[in-house]
Amino acid sequence: MRDPRTILITGASSGIGEALAEAYAGPATMLVLTGRDRTRLDAVAARCSARGADVRATVIDVTDREGMRRWLSGVDAVSPIDLCIANAGISGGTGGGDGKRGRGESEEQARRIFSVNLDGVLNTIHPLIGPMTERGRGQLGLVSSLAGFHGYPGAPAYCASKAAVRSYGESLRLALRPNGIQVSVICPGFVRSRITDRNRFPMPFLMDADRAARIIRRGLERDRARIAFPLPTYFMSWLVGALPAGLADVLLARTPAKE
């Protein structure tokens, strides 16, 4: 969608969400931003306001289904949302403080990751699908990951939750197209953020968040079904996902653990 006027971005207090908020900030634009950290979110809101945007920043838990429904319904009733980017997400891993694998994710950790990364997306987009359908227009951007093309032993729940978002979004694109709603799935590789700052292993083609935001915005403007980048990492992720399972197991067995 070109020139959306009211834009919702979850997870806007850091990383890709923060960069997207600043990329879209400008006169005649309303930004509806959420994040978990009030101090960081207010700082992002202030910078976006300085660029001329009308900003509403709210700290809300995306896993709160009813709370999200009430809040989004209220926002959309006053300022119909043109573009929703469901970006909020967390990561985890199987490594301990010593970086060694073998302990595995705890059940609590895995459930929390699924709750934020998958339920959080559902809680963000579903309150808006009905109103967008009634208006016959709107756009949804679901943030998945290149890690969603195959499971990696370093972060099982993260990979699985992002795979679910990717598959769901690609299916939803076909289902909602007759309603005038555009759906894009966003699959970044390694992007500088508070999540990747914790990684102690090599991250090929690590990209700054502002560059990632420009790629995402351009892809959304062109209504791309899948916005995946950078290209070399995308190709390798796709290739691993296409390999026979036994061969992929051999190749991935020594991938580093995530702390």
pLDDT digits over 152-193, tens only?
887 899 999 999 999 999 999 999 999 999 999 999 998 987
Rounded to an integer, what distance in angstroms lies between the CA atom of residue 148 and that of residue 241? 9
- Res 218: pLDDT: 98
Q: What is residue 105's predicted lDDT score, i.e. its pLDDT?
A: 81
Question: Where do runs of H (alpha helix) occur along the chain?
Answer: 15-24, 38-50, 65-78, 107-114, 120-135, 156-176, 209-221, 231-242, 245-252
* Catalytic residue (choose from 152, 158, 168, 234): 158
3-state helix, strand, coil in the chain (%, to 5): 50, 15, 35
All domains of the chain in start order, with CATH: 6-252 (3.40.50.720)
Q: List, for residues 70-123, the tens digit of each pLDDT value.
A: 999 999 999 999 999 999 999 875 444 444 445 568 899 999 999 999 999 999
Give me the pLDDT at residue 96, please: 47
**Residue 158 falls in the annotated catalytic set:** yes
pLDDT band for position 2 (50/70/90)? confident
- The arithmetic mean of pLDDT across residues 113-138, rounded, is 98
Strands 6-9, 30-35: pairing is parallel
